[in-house]
Structure 1
Amino acid sequence: MRQLRIGIVGLGNIAQKAYLPILSQADHWELSGGFSPDQQKAQKVCNSYRIPCFSRLDILAGQSDAVFVHSSTASHYQIVSELLTLGVHVYVDKPLAETVAQAERLIELARQKNLVLMVGFNRRFAPLYRQLKQQMDRPASLRMDKHRTDSVGPKDIGFTLLDDYLHVVDTALWLAGSPANLLSGSLQTNADNQLLYAEHHFQSTHTLITTSMHRRAGSQRESVQSVTNGAMYQIDNMSRWQREDALGILELPLPGWQSTLIQRGFDGAIRHFISAVSNQTAAETSGEQAIYAQRIIQQLLKNLGSA
């Protein structure tokens, strides 16, 4: 049986740091090559991984069964729609597209073509977050914080919410496990309409959910705290686990063999997509799951504009 052929579009920072180190291992697939409009840069990266460098997207698609897309958000709609039209399965960095309307059209196109379309919400595949979701018993509250040392600007609030805060909203609501309603929140900006701080409160069936992000907190800390029936949990930076109950405090040591790419969910997300393509099953972050958090971000921006 022929191995699955995997291509990659966009060879910038995220592709080089998180995806190529895993894809180049070629476990039960083969890396067919890469493409980027910046051919000089693309050739250098492809040479370092000893893979073909394609000059056109359609030629890469012709040599691939599935493609990972790591280009700019503004280019997602055009690139993903072309790949789907050419009959290629697609994994794309979040968000799926620049607007919800574009994302909906891509989801419908993938459905019509019977192709796997997955959005790369890597935190859903972080082992400690998956363990927390499995072990929590009817959480009464769940809070997720993702802060930055000093990352105000240079883009406006709309870009930052869709590029970074989207991760917080998606992960928190996924952990809570059921649809949620927005109760209240706050967006603080500077004079240049750049995000300083965001905090929002949601209510799902049983859980009060809080999301928070400060862009100049002096820390890169990411944490999740949950109060549940019989236990309290805290996870820091996807690497430190603490559970407190009537018996005391349990801290799980980080497995010595576990790499950062496994801890942060990139390895799990990549392998899940490849498995979905190989077995023709739906990806966890496809369809409505792919754009649920983006709909909420759109609502936050709409509320900001009408304030």
Structure 2
Amino acid sequence: MAKLRVGVVGLGGIAQKAWLPVLSAASDWTLLGAFSPTREKAQKICDTYRIPYVSSIADLAAQCDAVFVHSATSSHFAVVSELLQAGVNVCVDKPLAENLADAERLVELAERKKRTLMVGFNRRFSPLYQELKTKLTAGASLRMDKHRADSVGPNDLRFTLLDDYLHVVDTALWLAGGEAQLQSGTLQTNEQGQMLFAEHHFAKEHLQITTSMHRRGGSQREWVQAVTDGGLFEVTDMRDWREECGAGIVNRPVPGWQSTLEQRGFAGCARHFLESVANQTVPETSGEQALLAQRVVEKLWREAMSE
């Protein structure tokens, strides 16, 4: 079978730190080219990774089977629409689009064009989170915290919910097995309408789920704690595993050979998308799947605005 031809749209920080190192290092596909509106900056990045700069999205689409989109959220709808219309499979950074209506339109377009549309929720592909998910069949309580040392503003509440808190909601609900009922919660903002703190409580059958984020918490720590019938589990920063199952405490550090991009799920996410395209299977974080968390976050924002 011929190798998939892969392209990239958007060469900002997340593309450089997380995606290009993965995409440029694999031999299972061909990284054909990249497009970003500012050619002068883009050319330097393309030269670093030894990939051609392509002058437009249309030209890139004409050469590729699949494209990773890492452009600004405000451009997602236009960029992903153009690629899907051209018959290209797309993996796009979260959120799928800047608003829920546009996100739903993209899902409908992908279905109409019979193309794979996936949202890059990398945490679903973190090996430790995947292992933790297997322990939750008898789960009673699940809590996910993702805090920031000092990241209040400059963007408004809605931007931060979609840009960062969305990760927490999506990961927690995925670990819990899917949709859950929102029970209660709080959103605190400053006088400028910027997010300070969020915490929400969900329920899914017997499992109680809590998501939490403080934007000035003095720490960049991310951790998930699970209480199950028979054990307590904690994963810190997708790197360290701690469990207590009646026979003492086990602390398991990350394997020395495992890269940060593997630990944080970026490598697994990229592979999964391209395998889904090659095998014509539905990806784990399909557009339809990604809408679940975005609908929750949209609801949280609307309720906060109506208070």
| Structure 1 residue 253, shift from structure 2 partner | 2.6
Report the 3-state secondary structure (helix = DSSP H, G, I; strand = E; otherwise coil) of the residue aligned with 1:192.
Answer: coil
- 1:64-120, CA deviations, whole angstroms, 9 ceiling, x for partnerless residues? 100000000000000000000000000000000011111111111111111110000
Checking the alignment, whether the CA contact within 8 Å between 2:94 and 2:121 is kept in structure 1 is yes
Amino acid at match of 1:17: K
What does residue 197 of structure 1 align with? Answer: 197
What does residue 217 of structure 2 align with? Answer: 217
Q: How many percent identity over aligned positions?
A: 62
Aligned equivalents of 1:247 and 1:256: distance in 2?
A: 26
What does residue 258 of structure 1 align with? Answer: 258
Pair 1:303-2:299 in alignment: no
What does residue 91 of structure 2 align with? Answer: 91
Amino acid at match of 1:81: S
Aligned equivalents of 1:191 and 1:136: distance in 2?
A: 40
Aligned equivalents of 1:294 and 1:134: distance in 2?
A: 24
What does residue 272 of structure 1 align with? Answer: 272
| Structure 1 residue 135, shift from structure 2 partner | 2.3
Report the 3-state secondary structure (helix = DSSP H, G, I; strand = E; otherwise coil) of the residue aligned with 1:187.
Answer: strand
What does residue 132 of structure 1 align with? Answer: 132
| Structure 1 residue 179, shift from structure 2 partner | 1.7
What does residue 2 of structure 2 align with? Answer: 2
How does 1:107-126 map onto structure 2 within 5 Å? 107-126=107-126
Pair 1:54-2:29 in alignment: no
Checking the alignment, whether the CA contact within 8 Å between 2:179 and 2:292 is kept in structure 1 is no
Gaps in structure 2 of 5+ consecutive residues:
none
What does residue 180 of structure 1 align with? Answer: 180
Checking the alignment, whether the CA contact within 8 Å between 1:197 and 1:215 is kept in structure 2 is yes
Report the 3-state secondary structure (helix = DSSP H, G, I; strand = E; otherwise coil) of the residue aligned with 2:238.
Answer: coil
| Structure 1 residue 250, shift from structure 2 partner | 1.6
Checking the alignment, whether the CA contact within 8 Å between 1:93 and 1:121 is kept in structure 2 is yes
Report the 3-state secondary structure (helix = DSSP H, G, I; strand = E; otherwise coil) of the residue aligned with 2:155.
Answer: coil
Say if 1:41 and 1:131 are closer, same or farther in 2 by CA, change over 3 A: same
How many residue pairs get aligned? The number is 307
Amino acid at match of 1:55: S
Aligned equivalents of 1:153 and 1:178: distance in 2?
A: 30
| Structure 1 residue 51, shift from structure 2 partner | 0.9
| Structure 1 residue 16, shift from structure 2 partner | 0.4
What does residue 38 of structure 2 align with? Answer: 38
Bigger drift between 286-295 and 14-23 goes to 286-295
Checking the alignment, whether the CA contact within 8 Å between 1:137 and 1:229 is kept in structure 2 is no
Aligned equivalents of 2:52 and 2:222: distance in 1?
A: 37
What does residue 291 of structure 2 align with? Answer: 291
| Structure 1 residue 17, shift from structure 2 partner | 0.4
Amino acid at match of 1:264: R
Checking the alignment, whether the CA contact within 8 Å between 1:178 and 1:205 is kept in structure 2 is no
Aligned equivalents of 1:57 and 1:92: distance in 2?
A: 14
Report the 3-state secondary structure (helix = DSSP H, G, I; strand = E; otherwise coil) of the residue aligned with 2:258.
Answer: coil
Checking the alignment, whether the CA contact within 8 Å between 1:222 and 1:237 is kept in structure 2 is yes
Amino acid at match of 1:78: A
Amino acid at match of 1:46: C
Gaps in structure 1 of 5+ consecutive residues:
none
Aligned equivalents of 2:81 and 2:134: distance in 1?
A: 35
TM-score norm. by structure 2 comes to: 0.98
Aligned equivalents of 2:243 and 2:77: distance in 1?
A: 42
Structure 1 runs, 4 residues or longer, greater than 6 Å off: none
TM-score norm. by structure 1 comes to: 0.98
| Structure 1 residue 249, shift from structure 2 partner | 1.3
What does residue 153 of structure 1 align with? Answer: 153
Aligned equivalents of 1:206 and 1:261: distance in 2?
A: 34
- 1:247-285, CA deviations, whole angstroms, 9 ceiling, x for partnerless residues? 121222310100100000000000000100111101111
Aligned equivalents of 1:292 and 1:137: distance in 2?
A: 21
What does residue 164 of structure 2 align with? Answer: 164
- 1:174-198, CA deviations, whole angstroms, 9 ceiling, x for partnerless residues? 1011321111111111110000100
